[in-house]
Amino acid sequence: MELKELVGLKAAEYIKDGMTVGLGTGSTAYYFVKEIGRRVNEEGLKITGVTTSIQTKELAESLGIPLKSVDEVTCIDITVDGADEISEDFQGIKGGGGALLFEKIVADNSKKVIWIVDESKMVKHLGAFPLPVEVVCYGSIQLFNKFNKKGYNPEFRKTASGDYYLTDEKNNIIDLHLGEILDPMALAEDLIHLTGVVEHGLFLDCVDTVLVGTKDGVKVIE
Ligand code: 5RP
């Protein structure tokens, strides 16, 4: 079994009847959502899902998982999502799949957040993975130039056909090639105060439990 599937299945064990569950986005979260769908259909599991992207919404709907929007629930019991990098001090980069804004909103409204990753995502310092920043389209080239001046090595995310990538909220993404982020808090503070930045992919002090898929099985870090 693929490590991503292993952690997806393990995370599904945390989900019990009556819970409101945040459903993450990406190729690892996919296995979690599929397993929740299986349990809803085969075991009669009763949960309400809150999705973090249109992609996951379509998947969950196709599996018959009952859904509500984040604004229709009082709170989310557990959110299970993937991550692009997790540092030794439990900080993360997310948004490789472009869903960082909804992922952060859902995480912020969750009592417990679980990240599911394979061991390749565990790093000493964040930053080898390009940091996604969601920006409004209007003025995004000006913002790109500001990032450049700050030495953030920005790159507009593009689609395979060369168009500017658009998020579910119809914003652009600028990926910052930083190499190593030694002070994620300071960087987050800088980014969020730049006009036109909607959200960034630094998920700081956000996760409660990390399930890491290794060749020896799932390692639980809390
Ligand atoms: C999407 C995300 C994903 O959770 C992250 O990119 C990990 O994806 P994958 O499990 O496919 O490696 O943040 O915006």
State residue 206's pLDDT score: 95
Is 103 assigned a catalytic role?
yes
Q: Strand 154-156 to strand 48-51: parallel, antiparallel, or no bridges (unpaired)?
A: unpaired
> How far is it, in rounded angstroms, from Cα 100 to Cα 116?
15
- What residues line ligand 1, using a CB cutoff of 6 Å? 24-29, 81-84, 94-100, 103
ipTM for the complex shown: 0.98
- Contact in structure between 196 and 142 (CB atoms under 8 Å): yes
pLDDT tens for 83-129 read 999 999 999 999 999 999 999 999 999 999 999 999 999 999 999 99
Cβ pair 163, 157 in contact under 8 A = no
Q: In this structure, what token pair is assigned to residue 157?
A: 């995310």
Contact 177, 183 (CB under 8 A): no
Q: If you count DSSP H runs as helices and E runs as strands, how many of each does the chain have, helices first? A: 6, 13
How far, in Å, is the centroid of ligand 1 from the Cα of 195?
26
Whole-number Å distance, alpha carbon 14 to ligand 1 midpoint, is 20
Whole-number Å distance, alpha carbon 127 to ligand 1 midpoint, is 15
Report how far ligand 1's centroid is from the alpha carbon of 33 (Å).
Answer: 13
Q: Are strands 154-156 and 172-176 parallel, antiparallel or unpaired?
A: antiparallel
Report which protein residue has its CA nearest ligand 1's atom 1: 97
Catalytic-labelled residue, pool 5, 35, 85, 103 = 103
For residues 79 and 32, is the Cβ–Cβ distance under 8 A?
no
Write down the pLDDT at residue 40. Answer: 98
Task: Record the tokens describing residue 94, joined without a space.
Answer: 């997310």
Contact yes or no for 35/12 (Cβ under 8 A): yes
- Amino acid identity of residue 60, one-letter, is A
The rounded Å distance from CA 211 to ligand 1 centre is 14
Q: Which residues lie closer than 8 Å to 69 by C-beta, 6 or more apart?
A: 50
Question: For strand 110-118 and strand 154-156, is the pairing parallel, antiparallel, or unpaired?
Answer: unpaired
Query: What does the pLDDT read at residue 1?
Result: 77
- Residue bearing the CA closest to ligand 1, atom 8: 26
> What's the whole-model pTM score?
0.96
186: its two tokens? 């300071």
Q: What is the rounded distance in angstroms from the CA atom of residue 161 to the CA atom of residue 159?
A: 5
Work out which ligand 1 atom sits closest to the CA atom of 82. 4
Instruction: Report pLDDT for 62.
Output: 98
Mutation choice for ligand 1 from 25, 117, 133, 200, CB with most ligand atoms inside 8 A: 25
Atom from ligand 1 closest to the CA of residue 26: 11
* Nearest atom, ligand 1, residue 99 CA: 14
pLDDT in tens, the chain (222 residues): 799 999 999 999 999 999 999 999 999 999 999 999 999 999 999 999 999 999 999 999 999 999 999 999 999 999 999 999 999 999 999 999 999 999 999 999 999 999 999 999 999 999 999 999 999 999 999 999 999 999 999 999 999 999 999 999 999 999 999 999 999 999 999 999 999 999 999 999 999 999 999 999 999 999
**Ligand 1, pocket-test mutation among 7, 27, 52, most atoms within 8 A of CB:** 27
Q: Which of 148, 121, 122 is nearest to 133 (CA)?
A: 148
